[in-house]
Structure 1
Amino acid sequence: MRRHNPPKRLLLGCSPPQCNCRHRRPPKRYPFRSHDGKLSAVCVDSEPKVVRKLQKQIKRGEFRESNLIMGKQGRGNNWAYGYHGVRSESEQSLFSRTMESLRKEVERKDCYCGTVLFHSLSGGTGAGLSSRLCEAIREEYPLGHILSVSVAPHQAGESPLQHYNALLCLSWLQRYADGVLLFHNDEALKRAAAVAALQRKDVPEASGQVSLSAMNSYIASCLAGLLCPLKIFTTQSGVTMGMEPWQLLRTICPMPALKFLHAAQASTRGTVFWDSLASSVVQPLPRESLAGNPHRSTAVLAVARGPREDAFLISRSLVLRKLKQGYRCVSWNPFPATYWTDPTSLVVPGHHGHSLTVCANHSSSADLLQRVEQRARVMYKSNAFLHWYWRHGCNEGDFEQAFETLRSVLEDYSHLGD
């Protein structure tokens, strides 16, 4: 079984243009583009090898060449090195180049609504630079939303510094982001394995090995299910407004203290039974916290996509009931579960595929925070590897504030059922 290392590359996506001019309308299938048709995305990595793979997209006109930002050396899996950058004039700051590219993308918009930040939690670039960018974007564009899509490393360990990096990055996201959509490598591996098992029933000769590509495909499919354009957010003239990420934040995390989100998806290519898809989403959910307390959700959003939209509307009461029970929605929220629908299939475009993607403000996210806090504290008390952080500008106050921030979040999630 292949190990999955979350990409160090950062990808920032701005909100799409909101324009009713027909000659300036971006392609319908890809609304997150500028008026010239190029993707409104900035990709950055401290090493060139990953971003270079996107050079082919430049030739196809997908990316703007100035938005592929590469450094000359890595950040040593060190949050402090990624946050503070290279203290040398020989390499122009990745941070300043990224913010300049983001500024230009914002200025191309008719209306800037927010930024989606894709990154990992374990590496120096993914954790450190993303923290700096999240902080700067909040200060530079205070009225815009920030949705972080964060990939957490395997519990077994991918780097000896991953707990420090995740601790500091999660605390920064809690302070500056509006919502944090967490994907765990271990859970993505299990979900991708389940998808592969279903595929082997249809294709017996298919391999039983779960590849890195399959894990990435599952995460990308969840994001597409949640963030791709929906009919309900499209104008009568057919212009996609691109409000899906920001409506997601308003629906799932209206409380500033509780902003860590869990996403899962089930799909089928044949006859659809929406309640069965709901059961497939709910069944693998963790039921209890590390302390043995039942997990709960403040809010749940179900996004049903497929040509049989009417079938979902007929069975929506049953589906929402299953989701409310499976996610153990809190009693104090009178309307904890809602849904969006769209007649377009994302499973196999143009075919009769159906998908049910569920996003919830679920307390199981606190399990990751608790593991990170506990393991980082053990290392911190023994002074393990701290000299690497002091060397690059970090100090004890950064760690103490990070521990306090995560403890506060854990306390809030532990009282969901009160």
Structure 2
Amino acid sequence: MSAVWLQVGQCGNQIGQEWWQVVTRARSGDADMYPFCSLDGKLNAICVDSEPKVVKKLPKQVKRGSFRECNLIMGKQGRGNNWAYGYHGIRSEGEQSLFHRTMESLRKEAERRDCYSGTVLFHSLSGGTGAGLSSRLCEAIRDEYPLGHILAVSVAPHQAGESPLQHYNSLLCLSWLQRYTDGILLFCNDEVLKRAASLQGKDPPEGGQQVSLSTMNTYIVSCLAGLLYPLKIFTTQSGISLGMEPWELLRATCPVPALKFLHTAQASTRGTVFWDSLASSVTQSIPRESLHGRPQPRSSALLAVARGPQEDSFLVGRTSVLRKLKKAYCCVPWNPFPANYWTDPVSLLPLGHNSHALTICANHSCSADLLRRVEQQARLMYESKAFLHWYWRHGCEEGDFEQGFETLLSAVESYGRLGD
């Protein structure tokens, strides 16, 4: 029992809902739930939103009695898609307690752990609560628990736009994540839409409009299940999992502290599995070239997780599969062991019996394209002073933006030096 699972904002709680539905349905014994529950059977989950609608639905959508009532934390007023509003909160004393109530619940959950090792955060980069409040929570958690890990599961908005303030919100949130977390599993809505559509046999953008938000969240959670659901290799001799998967993932994919953004992709099949074929399917989603004529994208490290009853066949052919992945992800020459792998006979895919999944998590420089784009778009708005009065009104300062620009540019430069 090492992790606390913190879901913030509408997007974070919707992904959290899908995650807990998968986890509770997959339960085949107490050992499987050990990393996710306290001794009283309650989930190690804290669900926070500035509005009550999504959080109130959680106890009805997930197995009854799974959530601790005091960990369902709701406000009465949204944060207007404004990072500053989410970070600093409402001036009135009653609403200010949203942040403090969350930190108090996290303290109690950490004390319930046999050995608290860190927090897994679900949130979006564009919402006021998901971006702003999660930034403040990351900062406070790092300060209160400096030895604990923080792994963020972050959803980036569509490039076409979801909110006029999304570039500011993404800039500031990414800056805070870069400074205070240990790793960021970054899911871009545009890429998730394409992958979810391809799994349904559709061809975006024509068929993209038919892909539901729930389907996109299901794909994200399927990737998370591939990476974070307990594996037998991390269980004790008694068969109890200690829930070390999130932290072992960080150790495997983040060899350089300054490079934290992780690209995830998954391919699956039912029946007889050919892992080489699944590897080829996964690598189709990798950007072949960087934007604006930048150097070829590279990876500092990657992790392949093969799940399914034919896991032994992966072990037999792992050399070929890893060679293909290292070539496709352009692993850097200076890392002597750039590719790791895990295997497990349990697959949580909704394909039914005898399903297999190959999930790849890579610290890939394609993330720099998103960072660069966010920085450029936010700077254009900032220099024209667009919408800034909404941020000054809620306590934001020029230094927050300047630090945000500097942090993202520094991360982009670090990824640009990967091939050196």
Tell me how far 1:71 sits from its aligned partner: 0.4
Q: Quick check: 2:81–2:126 contact (8 Å CA) kept in 1? A: yes
Q: Quick check: 1:269–1:347 contact (8 Å CA) kept in 2? A: no
Q: Which residue number corresponds to residue 271 of structure 2?
A: 270
Q: Which residue number corresponds to residue 64 of structure 2?
A: 60
Q: Which residue number corresponds to residue 231 of structure 1?
A: 232
CA offsets per residue over residues 200-248 of structure 1, 9 Å max, x none?
Answer: xxxxxx9993211111110000000000000100011011010000000
Q: Which secondary structure state, in structure 2, belongs to the residue aligned with residue 44 of structure 1?
A: strand
Tell me how far 1:32 sits from its aligned partner: 1.0
Distance 1:71 1:232, change over 3 A: same
Aligned equivalent of 1:364, options 363, 366, 373: 366
Distance 1:178 1:208, change over 3 A: closer
Tell me how far 1:270 sits from its aligned partner: 1.7
Letter in 2 for 1:417: G
CA offsets per residue over residues 21-71 of structure 1, 9 Å max, x none?
Answer: xxxx95524631111111101000001111111132588111011111110
- Aligned-pair identity in percent equals 75
Q: Which secondary structure state, in structure 2, belongs to the residue aligned with residue 106 of structure 1?
A: helix
Aligned equivalent of 2:348, options 346, 349, 353: 346
Q: Which secondary structure state, in structure 1, belongs to the residue aligned with residue 247 of structure 2?
A: helix
Q: Which residue number corresponds to residue 409 of structure 1?
A: 411
Structure 2 CA distance for aligned equivalents of residues 285 and 379 of structure 1: 30
56-65 or 177-186, which deviates more: 56-65
Structure 2 CA distance for aligned equivalents of residues 68 and 252 of structure 1: 32
Tell me how far 1:90 sits from its aligned partner: 3.8
Tell me how far 1:194 sits from its aligned partner: 1.0
Q: Quick check: 1:58–1:65 contact (8 Å CA) kept in 2? A: no
User: Which residues of 2 match residues 251-400 of structure 1 at below 5 A?
Assistant: 251-292=252-293, 293-348=295-350, 351-400=353-402
Q: Quick check: 2:89–2:95 contact (8 Å CA) kept in 1? A: no
Distance 1:304 1:245, change over 3 A: same
Q: Quick check: 1:83–1:129 contact (8 Å CA) kept in 2? A: yes
Q: Which residue number corresponds to residue 90 of structure 2?
A: 86
Spell out structure 1 runs of 4+ moving beyond 6 A: 10-13
Structure 1 CA distance for aligned equivalents of residues 83 and 127 of structure 2: 7
Aligned equivalent of 1:158, options 158, 162, 177: 162
Aligned equivalent of 2:54, options 25, 50, 57: 50
Tell me how far 1:344 sits from its aligned partner: 1.2
Structure 2 CA distance for aligned equivalents of residues 314 and 325 of structure 1: 19
Distance 1:112 1:8, change over 3 A: closer
Structure 2 CA distance for aligned equivalents of residues 319 and 335 of structure 1: 15
Structure 1 CA distance for aligned equivalents of residues 242 and 99 of structure 2: 29
Q: Quick check: 1:10–1:44 contact (8 Å CA) kept in 2? A: no
User: Which residues of 2 match residues 70-81 of structure 1 at below 5 A?
Assistant: 70-81=74-85
Distance 1:8 1:392, change over 3 A: farther
Q: Quick check: 1:347–1:355 contact (8 Å CA) kept in 2? A: yes
Structure 1 unpaired stretches of 5+: 14-24, 199-205
Question: Paired residues, what number?
Answer: 397
Structure 2 CA distance for aligned equivalents of residues 150 and 46 of structure 1: 18
Q: Which residue number corresponds to residue 18 of structure 1?
A: none
Q: Which secondary structure state, in structure 1, belongs to the residue aligned with residue 248 of structure 2?
A: helix
Tell me how far 1:350 sits from its aligned partner: 6.8
When the two structures are superposed, what TM-score results if normalisation uses the length of structure 2?
Answer: 0.91
Letter in 1 for 2:414: D
Q: Quick check: 2:193–2:208 contact (8 Å CA) kept in 1? A: no
Letter in 2 for 1:83: Y
Distance 1:180 1:108, change over 3 A: same
Distance 1:356 1:6, change over 3 A: farther
Tell me how far 1:254 sits from its aligned partner: 2.3
Structure 1 CA distance for aligned equivalents of residues 85 and 252 of structure 2: 36
Structure 2 unpaired stretches of 5+: 1-8, 18-28
Letter in 2 for 1:152: A
Letter in 1 for 2:406: E
Q: Which residue number corresponds to residue 197 of structure 1?
A: 201
Q: Which secondary structure state, in structure 2, belongs to the residue aligned with residue 219 of structure 1?
A: helix
Q: Quick check: 1:295–1:362 contact (8 Å CA) kept in 2? A: yes
Distance 1:135 1:121, change over 3 A: same
- Greater share of residues in helix: 2
Q: Quick check: 1:26–1:33 contact (8 Å CA) kept in 2? A: no
Q: Which secondary structure state, in structure 2, belongs to the residue aligned with residue 91 of structure 1?
A: helix
Letter in 2 for 1:281: V
Tell me how far 1:309 sits from its aligned partner: 1.1
